[in-house]
Amino acid sequence: MISSRKYYSLFKMSVQTSLAYRLNFLINSISGIVFITVLYYLWKAIYVENTEVGQMTWDDMKCYLVIVFISNTLLSWYSESALSKRILDGSVSMDLLKPLNFHIARFFETMGTSMVEGGVSVFLAIIWVIVINGIKMPEDNWFIFLFSISLCLSLILKYCVVYLASLFCFWTSSSQGIAWARTAITNLFSGALIPLSLFPDWLATIAKWLPFQGIVYIPASIYLGHMSIIKAIQQMVLQLFWILLLWGTVLFIWRWAIRKVIIHGG
């Protein structure tokens, strides 16, 4: 119970810190809006000559882009850099001395930040939806429910991917290259740039064997009703599978990487 209160305190402190550093969130929000606006006008130009692209109508694509924006903003570059910074500046050595599980503590800190980022991203998404004349809602309320669960799983899945990438900072002197590579791979294979249904068959097959589709493509497909309820549940189980597998990989690499940490005097 005491430990639970400690983790909750970390969560609350992370929320307060996020609210204090408003400029960081303003920059993250602006970059997110620029990214999604560029994609919007790019796809709008494509749909000028087409009523459907890969069985997706323009209304479908507008919904898809909003989900891309929300998924990408829930866990921003700020959260990712905070994880890497602890390793690069040596803060991890002090964290190991605290009576807390390092991984759980970082999870609660990141979720606290994501709670604020999520509120901001949803608010901006609503404004953006109003500007683009709205998006359609799923015909069946079950898909809204399943989408909400899938979106939560996508946040945890992205956190696992980011955390795993951050651990490689134990072997580097900078996190920028790792973060850029991780972002490029994630955006491509999650469907954030192009829906996986529009990929060439060989590339779509590769993407479906990777965990990244659970970050954007699966939640978006559930929202759009591109799969049955049974299929949606199966895809959510796949998201959960990748979360467990990636978290197991994180723990394995952590045990290997922690040997590089030297705590003077202990």
pLDDT tens, 18-49?
A: 666 666 666 766 777 787 788 888 888 888 88
Mean pLDDT computed over every residue of the chain:
81
pLDDT at 222: 94
Predicted TM-score of the model (pTM):
0.85
CA 156 – CA 177 distance, rounded (Å): 23
Q: State the average pLDDT over residues 46-65.
A: 86
Q: Which two tokens stand for residue 72?
A: 């990408």
pLDDT of 123 over the 80 cut: no
Distance of CA 212 to the CA centre of its chain: 9
pLDDT at 121: 65
pLDDT of 1 over the 50 cut: no
The confidence band for 132, taking pLDDT boundaries of 50, 70 and 90, is low
Residues 134-193 have pLDDT tens digits of 677 777 788 889 999 999 999 899 999 999 988 888 888 777 888 889 989 999 999 988
Q: State the average pLDDT over residues 232-246.
A: 96
Residue 261: φ, ψ to 5°: -85, 130
Give which of 90, 164, 146, 155 is closest to 118, Cα–Cα.
155
The confidence band for 264, taking pLDDT boundaries of 50, 70 and 90, is very low
Q: State the average pLDDT over residues 69-75.
A: 78
pLDDT of 229 over the 60 cut: yes
1 exposure class (CB count in 10 Å sphere: 0-12, 13-18, 19+): exposed
pLDDT of 215 over the 90 cut: yes
Distance of CA 136 to the CA centre of its chain: 23
CA 28 – CA 14 distance, rounded (Å): 17
Q: Which two tokens stand for residue 109?
A: 């800190």
